[in-house]
């Protein structure tokens, strides 16, 4: 009887002490780190993308993006982001953290430097060949860098007449005689820098 009670006691202690042979839960494994690409860079913005991170347990992975320690995207499933409102000629470090549902994370980083802020200058502009019903606008521009892509817009009395104009002179027709007009030339580059000038003239 004493032996039987001893055996029961040992079995009871094994159960409550966890010696039943159950294995401990496996630790969570972090998702793999992503590869970051710098797709486009301008003086005031940049576009990045990154590879999909694989999780060892095949769990969903989300991403957190920081730029110079400032969070730009949190808990996003996207794999690309446009970073805006940057400063010209400035060093930046962007980090993409891949995070699984249990909080496991892996971080990748990429350094880049923004370019020089472009400039657009209208060096000469005049209204010539004025008649009773027409006038010709002529202008010259310089840009830095010299190969800067620009878009030109022409308006007469706040009415848009031409957009993305590629020439450096424009003939206004069908005007009224003895009438004062205001012509506007706006030049914009692909990063949003705007240079504009207004010039009045009066027909004969």
Last residue of a domain, one of 51, 81, 113: 113
Regarding whether 105 and 37 lie in a shared domain, the answer is yes
Regarding whether 127 and 106 lie in a shared domain, the answer is no
Q: How many domains does the chain have?
A: 2
Last residue of a domain, one of 113, 129, 157: 113
Regarding whether 196 and 133 lie in a shared domain, the answer is yes
Q: CATH code at 39?
A: 2.60.40.10
Is pLDDT of 4 > 50? Answer: no
48 within domain boundaries: yes
Distance separating alpha carbons of residues 27 and 19, to the nearest angstrom: 20
7 within domain boundaries: no
Is the CB of residue 92 less than 8 Å from the CB of residue 86? Answer: yes
Regarding whether 106 and 136 lie in a shared domain, the answer is no
Is the CB of residue 203 less than 8 Å from the CB of residue 183? Answer: no
User: Domain range spanning residue 138?
Assistant: 119-202
Overall average pLDDT of the 154-158 stretch:
94
Give residue-wise pLDDT tens across range 79-126.
Answer: 999 999 999 999 999 999 999 999 999 999 999 999 888 889 998 999
pLDDT attached to residue 193: 76
As given in the structure block, the two tokens for residue 111 are: 């350094």
22 within domain boundaries: no
Q: Judging by DSSP bridges, how do beta strands 46-50 and 80-83 pair with one another?
A: antiparallel
Last residue of a domain, one of 85, 113, 141: 113
Best-predicted range by mean pLDDT (12-21, 53-62, 105-114, 184-193): 105-114
Q: Which residues contact 139 (CB under 8 A, 6 or more apart)?
A: 122, 124, 125, 126, 168, 169, 185
pTM of the model: 0.64
Overall average pLDDT of the 134-158 stretch:
92
- pLDDT band of residue 12 (cuts 50, 70, 90) is very low
Distance separating alpha carbons of residues 17 and 26, to the nearest angstrom: 20
Is the CB of residue 63 less than 8 Å from the CB of residue 51? Answer: no
């Amino acid at each position: 009887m004493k032996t039987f009670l001893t055996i029961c006691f040992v079995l009871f202690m094994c159960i409550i002490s966890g010696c039943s042979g159950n294995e401990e839960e496996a630790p969570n494994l972090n998702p793999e780190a992503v590869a970051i690409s710098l797709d486009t860079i301008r003086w005031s913005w940049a576009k990045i993308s990154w590879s999909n991170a694989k999780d060892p347990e095949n769990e969903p992975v989300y991403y957190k993006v920081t730029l110079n320690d400032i969070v730009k995207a949190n808990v996003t499933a996207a794999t690309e982001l446009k970073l805006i409102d940057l400063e010209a000629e400035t060093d930046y470090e962007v980090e993409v953290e891949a995070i699984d549902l249990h909080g496991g994370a892996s971080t990748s980083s990429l350094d880049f430097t923004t370019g020089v802020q472009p400039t657009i200058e209208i060096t000469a502009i005049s209204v010539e060949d004025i008649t009773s019903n027409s006038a010709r606008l002529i202008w010259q521009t310089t840009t830095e860098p010299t190969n800067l892509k620009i878009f030109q817009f022409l308006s007469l009395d706040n009415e848009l007449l031409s957009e993305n104009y590629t020439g450096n002179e424009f003939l206004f027709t069908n005007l009224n005689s003895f009438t004062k007009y205001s012509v506007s030339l706006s030049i914009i580059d692909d990063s949003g820098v705007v240079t504009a000038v207004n010039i009045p003239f009066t027909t004969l």
